[in-house]
């Protein structure tokens, strides 16, 4: 929702003199302005880190310093060039996870360790030393048979299971830990980054001329204090030449001050970055580390920039590009036909990730040749992480299955919050619905055109002068009455509450924040102010728990005037976006609670905003009701607080296409509740694109249409009756499948499985699926291949699974797998296939909103496997409260089909929930015509069921079993 | 009703039909249904629909009105039910049993089971309604008689009477407005017709006048040309004589100056000017040394000259250098006064132009082009300049006066012709406008209507343009100029489109749609900007009161 240029242009509208400027903007606004954002070369620490080439690591493990505690093993590492000692900590965590932490043994100041992301201190396994020799040490990591081999010199670690090497750490010698140091005033420290690269080149030249020059020793001598701290018995090794890059770190220009464009970053703590490499033998496919506008499978970064993780408000982002976007999750997955593995790099500072591969660029034939000649290396992917500050804190998630890895990640950072049911319905948004009449008219449109809709959204213009928590008195004079009118139709509303607060002494929120000292501070101690929607704005310090508690209290009905229990929240611009700041965000030397620099925790800010807002919604209901908060920025753990979306996309086919890999990557990183603005935020979609986007969006977890202020209206009925009917059909499909979606979300909430998954998660051994990102699974039962091509006549759908079958949900036609199926499409087609062997629950009485469908009867779609079996489940509760958790008020039903009998039983006897809902219909796909069908209730006599059988498609429809959905029963086909 | 059941029986009241209906449903249903019914009876009251709580809703008069052939078989309990689309025939017990059997939804008129079904609310006291089946028992009160929420637990009240009353009142008000508006419209139609006729007559008159004027201009032009010939000749003759006189006078003056100089230079009064006498006049120096040498004097003079030779020969050589005695060194000419900056004048001019433009816009144009240029003030003659020519002699002056009169008369006639043409053009344009089927919108043609909002004043000048001006200062923005009537095909005069207004950043040019509705006054009642730079304005006008008030409107109530 980048609105700055527009704001300016609006002013320009009234002042012809500014028209030229606006025209200039117009030209610049067509695509992302890359010069606003740093490349690795322009980011001092990334340049320093990346300047370090693979080679012999200067670090040595002091094996004799090993201390084996009840939880962790600790030993020292020393950089033989600087002699600064580091502390290496190793944990074997329950559930196949190894944690590695490296920090300074004696830091002159504390270094930032990321709080509030791990859900708990993970339970540990007992470690044991299982082997030891001259230069190495072997640790057993618990009962799973994993062992860690620590090599003394150069320091490296190898993680093995049995004889198989899973992962090596620092195998390429790229551990680079910039210890804290005192400032030395020298010329080079003041060279800004813009001339840094030049300086670098000059120096490199100089170096080549005088190879014997030991600048590192000079540096070390100047840091005598640290040297003494590092004093060990190994001083004899000093003669060994340190690697060039490590040595240069002490000399690197821009280490104590860095300038980008007009912004200077005073770096009072100097260079503080950390970097480390991981080698993954046997892996050719890596995924994750959202948010990037990128294919599902990550590409190698050699020859370009690394993937960047730094939450930024990027205006009109480009596709297939490693640039940073609004959110960051430093979690990467590697997958092969044999196993899946994850690396979680717990660091909230600006982070860059380099990916390289020894097979990149090789053709399949080339790989085959290597293999046949026996000389080929094992395929291997190397991943290198580089962060600007903090410590090395990394979790190796050893799987071995995809579900195990996502489960392990969820055990660390939490699972997806179970959304209130309404949030899975359709959301109608626009920047902006102008006033109460406008809202009423749009709502009426949904009624008149029979398009279900759960939520109407209000963007920034609803507030009084962008003062969040208020309403524009002329446009929204009676918000409560408006909300009540919507609530009478069982609909909700979301209003935007951004974290930039207008600096205005007449604004209560600002006055309280200022008087309580709750704003982020500048390096000089004043309140940090920047330019954002309201003009001059200050930024509440969400890292301060007291501030968060205060913020949460603002959502009480008497604090947020005009709010009701059907009003929910959208946190936008929480990267944070600062129009006047470097890279449109906050200065890195701004100061947070506890004295931490913004640099240390930048990527965490957005998570805290959503956390505090969600907490506010819980509190306002006395802890009863589940919150709904949408956030643009995120970090590892944000899944615990609500939904996220892919930000300000564009009404173009390529943007529709990329919404799939983007949300798949979000899901792998724990963020299941993902969506993209349906229709595209910028520009005007043509009708065909809009229809296709609705069809695709209906099968993505978060389903919201949204549009820029400058776009033409595009509510579903504005493109002619034919298109309205197509959109209506798409939205109705979504509503009919809500029980299935809700159950998938419950599974995600319980087990950390993504709701929307890559095919390889369900078919991990099928290498053909590894790079597919134009189709995907919803939970384990539905395969979706939305039409994302203009003028498409058909799509190629890959159906995975040897010996499996799939049923087209529209025609019920059965297809054998594996195969690539050509599916002809019309404008009404949304290719979706139900996997043979699954049961999908639906509610086919689609109504105006989810709340209206509560208690409606269910239909079960039983798709038989070639073996004549199927299973599936259904989760059901009140859809809005925490009672499922606190009072076990829920139903989790299991449906199993085997031996011509469909059986309903409890999947979880702990839960119970009273519902009038009953079983309306059973549709069995892939079965012959029975002579009779008998219903056997748990208590009561057998009864016969009426049925219909379509011989052509082998579909059997059982009429009105009528049993309550919570009951146990069996249906027998005879 | 063909079935012989009066509509009043349907839908049956819950209290009356609950028991028997249930019994019948149980009896007619398959055994499992009964079992289900039994179980469901135990479920909480006031929750969602229970399959057994059998409801029978009459579809109401609509289907019958559509003339379906099987009308009289509708929902007769004794016979199997055939779906209205003929897609299936089912046991009567399956009608309204909360399971959809017919593709057209006709077997479930009283439940939410069919995705495409309709539910009929009688809404006694208000208008009957067929709502989508999906709205039955969904917790939202849709029917004012509350019959749609018979099993959802929603607390719906019967509001039909109140709604009916309000609707009647509103209809009455609307009818009154429509009646009054229609009356006004009829008057507008008459006025428009009269106005049109009057304009056409005026046009005829103007066209007539134009012809006369054209003729007159022709005649006057010839007369002017005829008068200007003699005038030109007389003026030229006058000029020629005057120039001769002036030349003669100048020669005499020069001779007199030469004689004066001679007298001065001839210091010894011997009637000759000698070289020695010349040498006393340093200003006659030719080589720039400040003195006249013997040689220089000799070169100038040759032999001493007498007065006549001096006048004829030497004077021409020295006259520019020679200074009469007693006259001081000529002081350099005073510096010219700096040129006055002229912008104020220009500004004035601009203002004038602007005014002119405005005038033009206001349709009072023709005159300005004939505007007489401001009279030139005769500038004061400097002494060196030749004296003014003598006045024309009486004969010449008479010719000039005659020609001038001819010119003025022509100008006047041309002006009148242009004026007439302008008026004709404006009238033709107005007459060509589509002011509605009966010209009823013509009265809007020269009007403007304004509406203020918190931020802006919107101004609609029908058939011309729409604009927006910020209340707190700032320039006016053009929201579009007249485009066309833009209502749907059957109702083209219900909306106007104004297009090509000021451009929007990254967007289209501003445009406005004006929706017209019936009212007794003419006023802009609302303006909105539903999409960026696409404005919507509402104009009430009696001209839009097209239908004469009828009594059918509220008969339903």
Residues in B closer than 8 angstroms to A962, CB to CB, are: 32-33, 35-37, 39-40, 51
With bands split at pLDDT 50, 70 and 90, how would you rate the model's confidence at A102? very high
As a whole number, mean pLDDT of residues A864-882 equals 98
- The helix-helix angle for A738-751 and A402-413 (nearest 10°) equals 70
CA-to-CA separations, A480 to A130, A464, A567, in angstroms, rounded: 68, 16, 9
Cα–Cα distance between B225 and A170 in angstroms, integer? 108
Over 80: is that where the pLDDT of B41 sits? no
Are B485 and B493 in contact, with CB atoms under 8 Å apart?
A: yes
**pLDDT value, residue A641:** 98
Q: Does B282 touch chain A (CB under 8 A)?
A: no
**What would the pLDDT profile of A364-394 be if each residue is shown by its tens digit?**
555 555 555 555 568 999 999 999 999 999 9
- Can you give B336-401 as a three-state secondary structure string? CCCCCCCHHHHHHHHHHHHHHHHHHHCCCCHHHHCCCCCCCCCCCCCCCCCCCCCCCCHHHHHHHH
Of the candidates A799, A839, A803, A804, the one whose C-alpha atom is nearest the C-alpha of residue A821 is: A799
Cα–Cα distance between B32 and A903 in angstroms, integer? 17
**pLDDT value, residue A375:** 52
As a whole number, mean pLDDT of residues B179-199 equals 91
Structure-token pair, residue B325: 């005695």
**pLDDT value, residue A363:** 57
Chain-wide mean pLDDT for chain B? 76
Q: Does B44 touch chain A (CB under 8 A)?
A: yes
Chain-wide mean pLDDT for chain A? 90
By three-state DSSP, how is residue B119 classified? strand
Are A392 and A276 in contact, with CB atoms under 8 Å apart?
A: yes
Are A88 and A96 in contact, with CB atoms under 8 Å apart?
A: no
Of the ranges B123-137, B316-330, B367-381, B422-436, the best mean pLDDT one: B123-137
What lies within 8 Å, CB to CB, of B478 at 6+ separation is B465, B466, B467, B501, B502, B510
Is residue A572 annotated as part of the catalytic site, yes or no? Answer: yes
Contact B134 A14 (CB under 8 A): no
Are A520 and A492 in contact, with CB atoms under 8 Å apart?
A: no
What lies within 8 Å, CB to CB, of A372 at 6+ separation is none
With bands split at pLDDT 50, 70 and 90, how would you rate the model's confidence at A676? very high
- Percent of chain A having pLDDT more than 90? 85
Q: Name the closest residue on chain B to residue A474, using Cα atoms.
A: B454
Is residue A773 annotated as part of the catalytic site, yes or no? Answer: no
Cross-strand partners of A903 = A896, A970
CA distance between the termini of chain A:
59
The H or E element spanning position A784 is strand A782-784
Other Cβ atoms within 10 Å of B521 Cβ, number: 11
**pLDDT value, residue A30:** 56
Structure-token pair, residue A918: 């009953």
Return the residue in A6, A450, A847, A972 with the most chain B beta carbons within 10 A, the one to mutate for interface testing.
A847
Q: How many CB pairs under 8 A join A and B?
A: 135
CA-to-CA separations, A460 to A570, A608, A831, A843, B213, in angstroms, rounded: 10, 21, 37, 36, 66
As a whole number, mean pLDDT of residues A101-123 equals 95
- Percent of chain B having pLDDT more than 70? 73
**What would the pLDDT profile of B204-241 be if each residue is shown by its tens digit?**
999 988 999 999 999 999 999 988 988 899 889 888 98
By three-state DSSP, how is residue A166 classified? strand
Higher pLDDT, A557 or B69: A557
Q: Which of B32, B48, B507 sits opposite A710 (nearest CB)?
A: B507
Over 60: is that where the pLDDT of B266 sits? yes
With bands split at pLDDT 50, 70 and 90, how would you rate the model's confidence at A885? very high
As a whole number, mean pLDDT of residues A803-825 equals 98
**Longest Cα separation, chain A:** 97
Cα–Cα distance between B493 and B485 in angstroms, integer? 6
**pLDDT value, residue B103:** 94
Cα–Cα distance between A824 and A826 in angstroms, integer? 7
Cα–Cα distance between A37 and A46 in angstroms, integer? 14
Other Cβ atoms within 10 Å of A222 Cβ, number: 15
CA-to-CA separations, A43 to A273, A305, A350, A918, B139, in angstroms, rounded: 11, 11, 9, 60, 58
Residues in B closer than 8 angstroms to A935, CB to CB, are: 32
Cross-strand partners of A519 = A540
As a whole number, mean pLDDT of residues A52-64 equals 95
Cα–Cα distance between A20 and A26 in angstroms, integer? 10
Cross-strand partners of A383 = A278, A355
Higher pLDDT, A65 or B352: A65
Percentage helix, strand, coil for chain A under 3-state DSSP, each rounded to 5: 25, 25, 45
Q: Does B501 touch chain A (CB under 8 A)?
A: no
Over 50: is that where the pLDDT of B537 sits? yes
Are A178 and A274 in contact, with CB atoms under 8 Å apart?
A: yes
Task: State the burial class of residue A234 (Cβ atoms within 10 Å of its Cβ: 0-12, 13-18, 19+).
Answer: middle
With bands split at pLDDT 50, 70 and 90, how would you rate the model's confidence at B485? very high
Are A464 and A740 in contact, with CB atoms under 8 Å apart?
A: no
Of the candidates A671, A92, A117, A747, the one whose C-alpha atom is nearest the C-alpha of residue A412 is: A117
Structure-token pair, residue A177: 């830990």
Sign of the Cα torsion B391, B395, B396, B400 reads positive
**pLDDT value, residue A186:** 52
Contact A474 B454 (CB under 8 A): yes
Contact B39 A964 (CB under 8 A): yes
Of the candidates B93, B131, B90, B97, the one whose C-alpha atom is nearest the C-alpha of residue B111 is: B97
Are A844 and A733 in contact, with CB atoms under 8 Å apart?
A: no
By three-state DSSP, how is residue A14 classified? helix
**Torsion (CA) B540, B546, B548, B554 in degrees, nearest 10:** -70
Sign of the Cα torsion B21, B22, B26, B27 reads negative
Q: Write down the catalytic residue from A454, A498, A572, A779.
A: A572
Output the CA angle B231-B232-B233, nearest 5 degrees: 90
What lies within 8 Å, CB to CB, of A26 at 6+ separation is B505, B506
As a whole number, mean pLDDT of residues B259-282 equals 80
Q: Which of A846, A856, A944 sits opposite B48 (nearest CB)?
A: A856
Q: Which of B30, B35, B454 sits opposite A941 (nearest CB)?
A: B35
Tally the C-alpha atoms within 13 A of residue A446's C-alpha that lie toward its C-beta: 24
Of the candidates A894, A900, A893, A960, the one whose C-alpha atom is nearest the C-alpha of residue A924 is: A900
Cross-strand partners of B537 = B514, B527
DSSP A802: T
Are A889 and A911 in contact, with CB atoms under 8 Å apart?
A: yes
Structure-token pair, residue A275: 């970097």
Cα–Cα distance between A49 and A732 in angstroms, integer? 52
Output the CA angle A443-A444-A447, nearest 5 degrees: 95
Of the ranges A777-786, B199-208, B539-548, the best mean pLDDT one: A777-786
**B contact residues 470-489, partner A, Cβ 8 Å cutoff:** 470, 474-475, 477
**What would the pLDDT profile of A146-190 be if each residue is shown by its tens digit?**
999 999 999 999 999 988 999 999 999 999 999 999 887 554 444
**What would the pLDDT profile of A477-496 be if each residue is shown by its tens digit?**
999 999 999 999 999 999 99
**What would the pLDDT profile of B130-184 be if each residue is shown by its tens digit?**
999 999 999 999 999 999 999 988 999 999 999 999 989 998 898 899 999 999 9
DSSP letters spanning A185-254: --HHHH--HHHHHHHHHHHHHHHHH-TT--HHHHHHHHTHHHHHHH--TTGGGGGSPPPHHHHHHTT-TT
**pLDDT value, residue A371:** 56
**pLDDT value, residue A361:** 56
Cα–Cα distance between A445 and A208 in angstroms, integer? 73
With bands split at pLDDT 50, 70 and 90, how would you rate the model's confidence at A628? very high
Over 50: is that where the pLDDT of A497 sits? yes
Q: Name the closest residue on chain B to residue A488, using Cα atoms.
A: B140
Are A469 and A41 in contact, with CB atoms under 8 Å apart?
A: no
Structure-token pair, residue B394: 């009486």
The H or E element spanning position A133 is strand A128-133
């Amino acid at each position: 929702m980048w609105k700055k240029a527009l704001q300016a242009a609006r002013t320009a509208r009234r002042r012809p003199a500014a028209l030229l400027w606006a025209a200039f903007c117009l030209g610049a606004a067509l695509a992302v302005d890359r010069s606003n954002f740093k490349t690795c070369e322009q980011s001092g620490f990334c340049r320093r880190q990346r300047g370090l080439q693979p080679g012999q690591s200067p670090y040595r493990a002091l094996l004799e310093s090993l201390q084996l505690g009840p939880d962790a093993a600790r030993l020292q590492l020393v950089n033989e060039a600087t002699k600064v000692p580091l502390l290496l900590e190793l944990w074997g965590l329950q559930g196949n996870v190894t944690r590695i932490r490296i920090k300074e043994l004696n830091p002159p100041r504390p270094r930032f360790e990321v709080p509030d992301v791990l859900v708990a201190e993970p339970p540990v396994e007992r470690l044991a030393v299982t082997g030891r020799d001259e230069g190495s040490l072997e640790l057993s990591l618990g009962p799973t048979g994993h062992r860690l081999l620590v090599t003394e010199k150069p320091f490296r670690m190898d993680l093995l299971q049995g004889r198989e090497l899973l992962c090596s750490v620092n195998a390429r010698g790229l551990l680079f830990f910039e210890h804290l140091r005192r400032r030395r005033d020298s010329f080079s420290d003041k060279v800004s980054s813009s001339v840094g690269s030049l300086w670098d080149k000059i120096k490199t030249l100089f170096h080549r001329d005088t190879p014997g020059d030991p600048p590192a020793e000079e540096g070390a001598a100047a840091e005598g204090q640290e040297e003494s701290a590092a004093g060990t018995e190994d001083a004899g090794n000093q003669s060994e030449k340190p690697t060039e890059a490590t040595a240069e770190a002490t000399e690197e220009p821009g280490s104590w001050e860095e300038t980008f464009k007009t912004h200077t970053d005073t770096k009072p703590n100097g260079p503080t970055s950390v970097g480390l490499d991981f080698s993954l033998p046997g892996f050719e496919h890596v995924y994750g580390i959202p948010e990037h506008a990128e294919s599902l499978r990550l590409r190698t970064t050699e020859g370009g920039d690394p993937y960047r993780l730094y939450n930024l408000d990027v205006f009109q982002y480009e596709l297939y590009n490693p640039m940073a976007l609004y959110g960051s999750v430093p979690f990467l997955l590697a997958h092969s036909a044999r196993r899946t593995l994850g690396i979680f790099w717990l660091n909230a500072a600006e982070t860059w990730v380099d990916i390289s591969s020894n097979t990149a660029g090789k053709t399949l034939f080339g790989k085959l040749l290597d293999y046949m000649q026996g000389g080929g290396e094992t395929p291997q992917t190397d991943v290198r992480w580089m962060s600007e500050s903090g410590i090395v804190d990394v979790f190796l998630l050893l799987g071995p299955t995809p579900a195990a890895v996502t489960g392990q990640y969820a055990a660390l950072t939490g699972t997806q919050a179970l959304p209130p049911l309404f949030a899975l319905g359709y959301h109608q948004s626009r920047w902006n619905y102008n006033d109460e009449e406008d809202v009423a008219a749009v709502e009426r449109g949904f009624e008149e055109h029979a398009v279900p809709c759960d939520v109407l959204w209000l963007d920034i213009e609803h507030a009084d002068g962008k003062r969040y928590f208020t309403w524009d008195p002329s446009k929204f004079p009676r918000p409560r009455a408006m909300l009540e009118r919507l609530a009478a139709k069982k609909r909700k509303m979301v209003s935007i509450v951004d974290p930039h607060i207008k600096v205005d002494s007449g604004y209560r929120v600002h006055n309280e924040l200022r008087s309580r000292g709750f704003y982020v501070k500048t390096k000089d101690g004043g309140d940090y102010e920047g330019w954002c929607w309201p003009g001059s704005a200050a930024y509440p310090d969400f890292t301060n728990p007291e501030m968060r508690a205060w913020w949460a209290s603002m959502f009480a009905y008497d604090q947020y005037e005009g709010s009701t229990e059907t009003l929910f929240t959208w946190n936008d611009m929480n990267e944070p976006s600062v129009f006047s700041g470097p890279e449109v965000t906050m200065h890195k030397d701004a100061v947070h609670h506890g004295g931490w620099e913004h640099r240390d925790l930048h990527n965490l800010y957005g998570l805290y905003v959503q956390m505090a807002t969600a907490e506010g919604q819980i509190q306002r209901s006395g802890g009863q009701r589940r919150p709904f908060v949408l956030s643009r920025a995120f970090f590892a753990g944000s899944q615990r607080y609500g939904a996220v979306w892919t930000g300000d996309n564009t009404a173009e086919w390529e943007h529709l296409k990329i919404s799939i890999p983007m949300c798949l990557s979000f899901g792998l990183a724990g963020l299941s509740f993902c969506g993209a603005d349906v229709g595209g935020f910028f520009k005007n979609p043509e009708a065909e694109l809009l229809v296709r986007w609705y069809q695709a969006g209906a099968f993505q977890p978060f389903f919201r249409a949204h549009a820029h202020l400058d776009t033409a209206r595009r509510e579903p009925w504005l493109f002619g009756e034919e298109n309205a009917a197509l959109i209506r059909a798409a939205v109705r499909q979504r509503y009919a499948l809500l029980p299935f979606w809700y159950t998938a979300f419950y599974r995600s909430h319980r087990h950390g499985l993504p709701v929307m998954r890559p095919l390889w998660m369900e078919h991990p051994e099928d290498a053909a699926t590894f790079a597919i990102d134009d189709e995907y699974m919803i939970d384990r039962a539905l395969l979706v291949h939305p039409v994302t091509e203009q003028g498409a006549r058909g799509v190629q759908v890959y159906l995975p699974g040897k010996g499996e079958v799939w049923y087209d949900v529209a025609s019920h036609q059965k297809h054998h797998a594996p195969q690539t199926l050509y599916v002809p499409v019309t404008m009404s087609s949304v290719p979706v296939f139900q996997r043979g062997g699954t049961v999908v629950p639906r509610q086919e009485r689609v109504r105006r909103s989810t709340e209206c469908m509560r208690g409606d009867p269910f239909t079960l779609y039983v798709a038989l496997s070639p073996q004549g079996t199927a299973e599936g489940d259904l989760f059901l509760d009140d859809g809005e409260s925490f009672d499922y958790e606190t009072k076990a008020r829920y139903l989790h039903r299991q449906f199993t089909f085997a031996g011509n009998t469909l059986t309903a039983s409890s999947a979880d006897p702990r839960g119970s929930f009273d519902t009038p809902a009953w079983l309306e219909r059973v549709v069995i796909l892939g079965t012959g015509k029975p002579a009779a069908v008998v219903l056997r209730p748990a208590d009561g006599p057998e009864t016969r069921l009426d049925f219909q059988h379509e011989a052509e498609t082998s579909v059997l429809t059982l009429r009105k079993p009528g049993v309550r959905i919570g009951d146990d029963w069996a249906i027998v086909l005879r | 009703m063909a079935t012989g059941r009066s509509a009043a029986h349907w839908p049956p009241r819950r209290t009356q039909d609950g028991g028997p209906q249930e019994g019948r449903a149980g009896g007619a249903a398959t055994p499992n249904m009964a079992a289900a019914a039994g179980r469901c009876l135990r479920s909480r009251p006031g929750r969602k629909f229970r399959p057994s709580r059998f409801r029978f809703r009459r579809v109401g008069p609509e289907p019958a009105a559509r003339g379906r052939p099987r009308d009289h078989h509708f929902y007769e309990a004794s016979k199997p039910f055939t779906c209205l689309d003929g897609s299936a025939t089912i046991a009567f017990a399956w009608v309204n049993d909360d399971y959809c059997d017919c593709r057209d939804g006709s077997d479930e008129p009283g439940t939410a089971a069919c995705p495409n079904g309709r539910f009929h609310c009688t809404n006694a006291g208000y208008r009957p309604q067929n709502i989508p089946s999906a709205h039955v028992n969904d917790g939202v009160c849709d029917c004012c008689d509350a019959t749609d929420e018979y099993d959802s637990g929603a607390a719906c009240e019967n509001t039909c009477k109140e709604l009916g009353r309000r609707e009647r009142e509103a209809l009455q008000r609307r009818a009154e407005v429509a009646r009054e508006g229609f009356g006004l419209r009829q008057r507008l139609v008459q006025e428009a017709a009269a106005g049109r006729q009057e304009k056409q007559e005026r046009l005829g008159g103007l066209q007539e006048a134009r012809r006369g004027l054209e003729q007159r201009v022709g005649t006057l032009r010839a007369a002017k040309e005829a008068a200007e010939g003699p005038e030109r000749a007389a003026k030229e003759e006058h000029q020629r004589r005057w120039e001769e006189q002036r030349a003669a006078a100048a020669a005499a003056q020069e001779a007199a100056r030469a004689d004066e100089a001679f007298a001065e230079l001839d210091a010894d009064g011997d009637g000759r000017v000698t070289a020695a006498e010349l040498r006393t006049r340093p200003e006659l120096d030719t080589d720039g040394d400040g003195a006249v040498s013997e040689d220089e004097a000799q070169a100038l003079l040759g032999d001493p000259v007498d007065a006549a030779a001096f006048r004829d020969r030497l004077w021409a050589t020295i006259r520019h250098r020679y200074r009469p005695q007693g006259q001081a060194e000529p002081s350099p000419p005073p510096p010219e006064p700096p040129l006055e900056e002229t912008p104020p004048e220009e500004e004035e001019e601009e203002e004038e132009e602007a005014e002119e433009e405005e005038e033009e816009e206001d349709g009072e144009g023709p005159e300005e082009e004939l505007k007489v240029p401001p009279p030139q003030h005769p500038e004061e003659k400097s002494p060196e300049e030749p004296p003014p020519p003598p006045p024309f002699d009486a004969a010449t002056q008479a010719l000039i006066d005659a020609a001038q009169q001819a010119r003025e008369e022509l100008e006047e006639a041309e002006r009148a012709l242009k004026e007439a043409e302008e008026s004709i053009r404006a009238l033709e344009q107005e007459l060509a406008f589509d002011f509605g089927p009966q010209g009823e919108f013509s009265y809007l043609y020269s009007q403007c209507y304004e509406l203020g909002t918190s931020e802006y004043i919107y101004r609609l000048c029908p058939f011309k343009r729409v604009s927006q001006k910020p209340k707190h200062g700032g320039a006016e923005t053009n929201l579009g100029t007249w485009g066309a009537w833009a209502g749907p095909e059957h109702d083209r005069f219900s909306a106007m489109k104004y297009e090509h207004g000021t451009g929007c950043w990254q967007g289209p040019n501003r445009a406005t749609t004006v929706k017209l509705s019936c009212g007794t006054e003419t006023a802009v009642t609302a303006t909105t900007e539903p999409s960026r730079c696409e404005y919507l304005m509402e104009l009430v006008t009696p001209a839009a009161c097209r239908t004469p008030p009828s009594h059918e409107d509220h008969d339903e109530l």
